[in-house]
Structure 1
């Protein structure tokens, strides 16, 4: 089978296309024929060594966490999946160096799989893995808020999404809108504003703007209930300005920041602010599977979709050009980068 691998950390040039044996599933494992792989920032960061900066020499590794495809074989003791089932994958590459989705066949444990709903394409299954699960987690950690998403779950809530044209920001807008929230988002330019509006944001505001806090307060006079935050240190003061009492700031990034977050004690304690940091790798299997169920419900309901008409331009690459796909994400391309691995049928 064809697979893309790297055996040292570095730029996209360390990725190469090779031939490997088709792996066999063991007990509790499933072999998936990967149709579409997706590239996320975590994938190029792992490839460069930013995720494990002090790691020793690495084994030959197949990159990419997200993907979707068809169950090709099941190992002993596997229940719930059968050959021919359409699935999407949850943090595939975290299972081991041979498990990434930039290959024609991947072997994974059953808890790394989620069924792909009828009528939902492989593109959505691959493209909304990490972004949608991250957004789901951010939207379900709020003080006084729901732990699961469904239509009406966020009714009466106002959600502020920082960076609404990014992959997680887009998923957060779509999921929050589907769950009934009033969605406010911030973007840096008109092109990104158009994407955030297409995603379904009710209010799209530009930054930088010295009056941004007051503009948000005009929309939400009592303050926003939840902030989905990609730029924690940059937006620390703004978030306190616009957050309601017992509001929550769900942090998944520090874009444009310093890596250090300084908090004013009295301002935070008087509001009873909840800060929830989040990363999917350590959130727990139960949270991931619950998130996958809700994401599937949104996909099946049409509340979550890829495409420029939903604020997610798609950029496609063949498997042989995985290095270029990684380079595009590393250079900050807006939208979703997908890799065509094998035919859909």
Structure 2
């Protein structure tokens, strides 16, 4: 089979297109013939050693993807053979991710993908959608699971609504019944956040964004899903309601975080840090189940008309796909795996 691998950490040029044996699934595993592989920031960070040393002599990158189960390990329900699936955390703690014609994952990390949902949707879920679910379910007064109506009466602020996680936050929050506000940096991203389903979009670079948000929701925001904590925390606290939650999954821009302790205490604010790897298997399983339900309801479409442009590369240009993500390309970067 064709696969992308790297043996040394470094820049995108360490990625090589190679021939490898088709993997065999072990007990409790499935083998998936990959149609589309999704690229996330954590993929290039792992490759560049930004997230620690390489754990295996050779690594096939990418956590997310979609395809068809073509082989089963011992103990896996035989009815799953031929099932269309989306994958999450494929390369987490394993050397074989989705940047290959075939990959092997634990059966629970291959989630059924409805026939009406394309492989592009499936490959765009994984890290963004599960992170968004986590961001929306950690509030002290909020639900632990998402479904239609779970966030009725709640207000969610999706920072960076044109990004992959922000896009998923908007869509999942809308599906669950929340009023959704998104902050963006300009008109084009405002268009994307609106297409994703945000009820209100605020350009944080113009005017007084805190006043604009407070005009929309005088009582404040229940949950903030934050992508740039250092840059945005002051705004978040200015619009947060009492007992509200700031769920942060990144610190884009790298600005140091300055916390207004007295203000946070008076608010009884919760500052929740998020990363899927250490969220726990129970939280990940619940997120995958709820995201799958949202997909069945048609609540997580992708494409520019739905607020998430798709930027595609063939498998042989995976290095260029990494460069695109690393440079901050707007939209979801996908790698098409030739069948």
- Normalised by the length of structure 1, the TM-score is 0.95
Q: Deviations over 1:1-29 (max 9, x none)?
A: 00000111111111110000011111111
Q: Tell me, yes or no, if structure 1 residue 214 matches structure 2 residue 211.
A: yes
Report if aligned partners of 2:214, 2:220 keep a CA contact under 8 Å in 1: yes
Q: Tell me, yes or no, if structure 1 residue 341 matches structure 2 residue 337.
A: yes
SS in 2 for 1:94: coil
2:147 corresponds to: 150
Cα offset, 1:80, TM superposition: 7.1
Determine the C-alpha separation between the residues in 2 that align with 1:28 and 1:200.
38
Determine the C-alpha separation between the residues in 2 that align with 1:307 and 1:56.
33
Determine the C-alpha separation between the residues in 2 that align with 1:80 and 1:228.
39
Report if aligned partners of 1:316, 1:338 keep a CA contact under 8 Å in 2: yes
Q: Deviations over 1:124-148 (max 9, x none)?
A: 1111111011001001111211111
Report if aligned partners of 1:232, 1:255 keep a CA contact under 8 Å in 2: yes
Report if aligned partners of 1:111, 1:285 keep a CA contact under 8 Å in 2: no
Q: 1:10 to 1:244 in 2, by over 3 A?
A: same
1:191 corresponds to: 188
Q: Tell me, yes or no, if structure 1 residue 288 matches structure 2 residue 270.
A: no
Q: Tell me, yes or no, if structure 1 residue 37 matches structure 2 residue 34.
A: no
Report if aligned partners of 2:46, 2:54 keep a CA contact under 8 Å in 1: no
Decide which of 277, 299, 308 is 2:295's aligned counterpart: 299
Decide which of 51, 67, 72 is 1:74's aligned counterpart: 72
Determine the C-alpha separation between the residues in 2 that align with 1:29 and 1:276.
33
Cα offset, 1:257, TM superposition: 3.1
Q: Tell me, yes or no, if structure 1 residue 84 matches structure 2 residue 82.
A: yes
Q: Tell me, yes or no, if structure 1 residue 250 matches structure 2 residue 237.
A: no
Cα offset, 1:100, TM superposition: 0.5
Determine the C-alpha separation between the residues in 1 that align with 2:273 and 2:107.
27
Decide which of 112, 118, 122 is 1:121's aligned counterpart: 118
Q: Tell me, yes or no, if structure 1 residue 111 matches structure 2 residue 112.
A: no
Report if aligned partners of 1:8, 1:58 keep a CA contact under 8 Å in 2: no
Question: 5 Å matches for 1:264-343?
Answer: 264-343=260-339
Q: 1:91 to 1:212 in 2, by over 3 A?
A: same
SS in 2 for 1:233: helix
Report if aligned partners of 2:11, 2:47 keep a CA contact under 8 Å in 1: yes
SS in 1 for 2:100: coil
Report if aligned partners of 1:95, 1:108 keep a CA contact under 8 Å in 2: no
Q: 1:80 to 1:205 in 2, by over 3 A?
A: farther
SS in 1 for 2:172: helix
RMSD of the alignment, in Å? 1.3
SS in 2 for 1:69: strand
Determine the C-alpha separation between the residues in 2 that align with 1:288 and 1:341.
26
SS in 1 for 2:311: strand
The number of residue pairs the alignment matches comes to 339
- Normalised by the length of structure 2, the TM-score is 0.97
Determine the C-alpha separation between the residues in 2 that align with 1:194 and 1:161.
14
Please list every run of 5 or more consecutive structure 1 residues that lacks an aligned counterpart in the other structure: none
Q: 1:212 to 1:109 in 2, by over 3 A?
A: same
SS in 2 for 1:8: coil
Q: 1:91 to 1:80 in 2, by over 3 A?
A: farther
1:204 corresponds to: 201
